[in-house]
A and B are shown apart, each in its own frame.
Chain A
Amino acid sequence: MLNRAFWLQFSTPKTFYPVAGKMIPVFMVLAVLSGVIGLYLSFFETPRVAGLQKEAYHIIFVHVAASWMSMFIYMIMGGYAMLGFILKARLSGMMASALAPTGAMMTFIALITGIIWGRAAWNPNFTWTPDPRLMTELVLFFLYMGFILLQVVIDDARRAMRAGAILAIVGVVFLPLIFFAVKLPTIHQPANIRPGHTMPVVSVVAMLVMVFSFWMYSIAASLMRVRAIMLEQEKRTAWVQQLLGAKT
């Protein structure tokens, strides 16, 4: 099965379109199942925590999953962009554009849940600005928005792909720099405002299950989006005309 013909169907829009269509339900079901399991574990199986953390710690299961995905998707996006740029493979560029909005959404979730968690767990006057992780999320959100808006503004599809690729490649190189710079301790910054604690095993498992669920969801959502992008950009090709021509 793992021969050339198998891999080739993932490499051109024409062959990937139906394959992606079959893959979406699989990933969606996995996402929902693991999501249900993760939520059950986090709400009912984790021990109650007393003291500083309080019940607000139920937020971290989505917060951590979303922040992992936000970073991870950007890296994957940069990888696809690089691949598409070097090999001139249109599908890779399309995957990069399809991942960006999902990544931006994950970043947004991570940012907002992070702020809510900070307020709930430590103090209601929590300002999120000195928190390096949230600050990185904010910069990451801007990076995603820059990528998305650049591709929206450019009319020509090929130029949009390639311009986005350059931005994503440079962004991936800069992301560790930004992360490191924001973390750099200065006098204004408390060393670490997150109290260290050891998590019970159930919580770790619940968190990993939630990360898995978000991961599966991200794949499903970007596959759905990449199908729409393929239709948008391959209008003049025979396969789209066959596919959509049959419907009209």
Chain B
Amino acid sequence: MKWQSVYDFVFMNGQGWYVWPSYLLVAVCIVAEIFFIKWRDKNAEIKFKQYVNLKRVQDNESEA
């Protein structure tokens, strides 16, 4: 084990201030990206419903 204690692992001779925020950034970015993709997926379904409704209206119009 290269770390003497949990404190040593977290603090890393003061370099923890740089290391952990970097990893936090990566985690935040990944979570945000997946969230945005899910949101886009939901949005695509909503847009599809809007499209179907709009098309129904247009088709009725062209029949009339």
Q: Quick check: do A and B touch in the complex, using CB within 8 A?
A: yes
Which residue numbers of A lie inside 8 Å of B, CB to CB? Answer: 43-48, 54-56, 58-59, 62-63, 66, 101-102, 105, 108-109, 112-113, 116-117, 119-120, 217, 221, 224-225, 227-229, 231-232, 235-236, 240-241, 244-245, 247-248
Residue on A with the closest CB to B32? Answer: A105
Sample of 20 further A-B pairs with CB below 8 A, known A46-B2, A231-B44:
A54-B13, A55-B15, A56-B18, A58-B19, A59-B18, A62-B26, A63-B22, A105-B33, A113-B22, A116-B18, A116-B22, A120-B17, A221-B37, A224-B37, A225-B37, A228-B37, A228-B44, A231-B41, A244-B45, A248-B49
Seen from chain B, the residues whose Cβ lies within 8 Å of a Cβ on chain A are 1-3, 9, 12-13, 15-19, 21-23, 25-26, 29-30, 33-34, 36-37, 40-41, 43-45, 47-49, 51-52
Interface pair A48/B15, CB less than 8 Å apart: no
Name the distance in Å between A184's Cβ and chain B's nearest Cβ.
29
Which B residues touch A59, using CB under 8 A? 18-19, 22
Q: Contacts A55-B16, A55-B19, A221-B33 known; A44 to B45 CB distance under 8 Å?
A: no
Among A44, A47, A55, A102, which residue has its beta carbon within 8 angstroms of that of B12? Answer: A55
Say whether A231 contacts B45, CB under 8 Å. yes
Nearest B residue to A98 via CB reads B37
CB-based nearest B residue for A50: B13
CB distance from A221 to the nearest CB of B (A): 6
B38, closest chain A residue (CB): A224
Q: Residue of B at shortest CB range from A222?
A: B37
Asked if residues A221 and B34 are in contact (CB atoms below 8 Å), the reply is yes
Q: Is the CB of A113 within 8 A of B25?
A: yes
B25 touches A247 (CB 8 A): no
Which of A48, A56, A228 is in CB contact (< 8 Å) with B40?
A: A228
Give the shortest distance, in Å, between B8 (CB) and chain A (any CB): 10
CB pair B44–A232 under 8 Å, yes or no, is yes
| A44 and B33 form a contact (CB under 8 A) | no
Q: Decide if A62 touches B23 in the complex (CB within 8 Å).
A: yes
Q: Are B22 and A217 in contact (CB under 8 A)?
A: no
Pick from B16, B22, B48: contact of A235, CB below 8 A. B48
